[in-house]
């Protein structure tokens, strides 16, 4: 999905959300590493899956420094603002359809456990993490939630719908909720359908023990493609970071990278 080398336009989008560069100390000393170099290292680790300790010195920044900035910027809300900005640009360019939401999830192995992990039902109960995605009709990742691998899909769908972002970029009031939600049989629950209808959302959720061929897959395939794009960022294939704040930083940054790739797909 993404090269190990960060595109220059990506940093141009990020830099508007970063804090000002710190000037050199008046008494001398080692200057602080520039934001551009740190972002380049963070992109490299996300795309290649390298350990922080294995970051090449030629990139100009140690992995530990990049790790500290990744966490600090997550705590400051930088990655959330970047993601929101990219959604706005996609909406303004006509590449976002907020009226349709598609939900699905993926489980990844979590070596060493950590926050938001649980026994995986698909990996002999080894520690794992479940990422639940909400995308639009074009596959743009709008929300990603993280929970333990044993979390029920039926318990994850309503919270992610309620976190539906209000995306600007076009005249008029942004949509507060989608008009229709698609999901597979794992989310089959009449209480969920009733609550979605109460919210004014038409539920299109597959039913268990019914034949295939309902036509839902003609719409839902885009979320599976987006999951493939996200797992194309190798750091997202396996979870090594125990702290939830780092995991949240990676998921939001991965969603931002996918949004960026969709935004520039027809312009480069």
pLDDT 10s digits, 147-164: 999 998 889 999 999 999
The pLDDT of residue 268 = 42
In terms of domains, do 226 and 254 share one?
yes
Q: How many independent structural domains does the chain possess?
A: 2
Measured from the Cβ of residue 165, the count of other Cβ atoms closer than 10 Å reads: 17
In terms of domains, do 136 and 62 share one?
no
In terms of domains, do 213 and 117 share one?
yes
Whether residue 118 contacts residue 150, with contact meaning beta carbons closer than 8 Å, is answered with yes
In terms of domains, do 61 and 177 share one?
no
The pLDDT of residue 120 = 84
Asked whether residue 255 is assigned to any structural domain, the reply reads: yes
- 215 pLDDT tier (thresholds 50, 70, 90): low
Report the predicted TM-score, pTM, of the whole model to 2 decimal places.
0.91
In terms of domains, do 102 and 232 share one?
yes
What is the rounded distance in angstroms from the CA atom of residue 52 to the CA atom of residue 262?
A: 28
In terms of domains, do 69 and 88 share one?
no
Asked whether residue 2 is assigned to any structural domain, the reply reads: no
The pLDDT of residue 24 = 73
Asked whether residue 1 is assigned to any structural domain, the reply reads: no
Q: Which domain holds residue 160?
A: 79-264
Show the tokens assigned to 203. Answer: 């539920």
Asked whether residue 187 is assigned to any structural domain, the reply reads: yes
Domain CATH code at residue 189: 3.30.420.10
Per-residue pLDDT tens for 105-123?
999 998 888 888 888 888 8
Asked whether residue 196 is assigned to any structural domain, the reply reads: yes
Per-residue pLDDT tens for 224-265?
999 999 999 999 999 888 999 999 999 999 999 999 999 998
In terms of domains, do 105 and 229 share one?
yes
In terms of domains, do 68 and 114 share one?
no
In terms of domains, do 105 and 118 share one?
yes
In terms of domains, do 132 and 251 share one?
yes
Residue 147 bridge partners (DSSP): 130
Whether residue 222 contacts residue 137, with contact meaning beta carbons closer than 8 Å, is answered with yes
In terms of domains, do 128 and 251 share one?
yes
Residue 1 predicted with pLDDT over 60:
no
Residue at which a domain ends, from 37, 58, 75: 75
Of the chain, the percentage scoring pLDDT greater than 90 comes to 65
């Amino acid at each position: 999905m993404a090269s190990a080398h960060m595109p220059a336009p990506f940093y141009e989008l990020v830099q508007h959300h970063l804090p000002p560069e710190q000037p050199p100390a008046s008494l001398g000393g080692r200057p602080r590493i520039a934001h551009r170099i740190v972002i380049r290292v963070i992109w490299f680790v996300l795309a290649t899956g390298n350990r922080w300790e294995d970051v090449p010195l030629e990139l100009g920044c140690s992995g530990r420094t990049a790790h500290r900035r990744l966490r600090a910027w997550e705590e400051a809300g930088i990655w959330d603002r970047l993601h929101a900005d990219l959604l706005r640009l996609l909406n303004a360019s006509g590449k976002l359809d907020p009226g349709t939401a598609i939900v699905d999830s993926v489980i990844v192995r979590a070596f060493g456990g950590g926050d938001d992990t649980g026994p995986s039902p698909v990996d002999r109960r080894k520690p794992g993490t479940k990422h639940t995605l909400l995308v639009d009709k074009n596959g743009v990742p709008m929300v990603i939630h993280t929970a333990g691998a044993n979390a029920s899909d039926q318990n994850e769908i309503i919270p992610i719908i309620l976190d539906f972002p209000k995306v600007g970029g076009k005249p008029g009031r942004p949509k507060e909720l989608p008009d229709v939600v698609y999901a597979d049989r794992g989310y089959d629950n009449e209480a969920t359908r009733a609550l979605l209808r109460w919210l004014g959302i038409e539920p299109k959720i597959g039913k268990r023990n019914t034949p295939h061929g309902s036509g839902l897959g003609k719409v839902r395939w885009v979320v599976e493609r987006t999951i493939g794009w996200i797992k194309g960022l190798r750091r997202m294939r396996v979870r090594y970071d125990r702290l939830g704040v780092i995991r949240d930083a990676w998921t939001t940054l991965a969603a931002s990278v996918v949004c960026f790739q969709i935004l520039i797909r027809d312009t480069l």
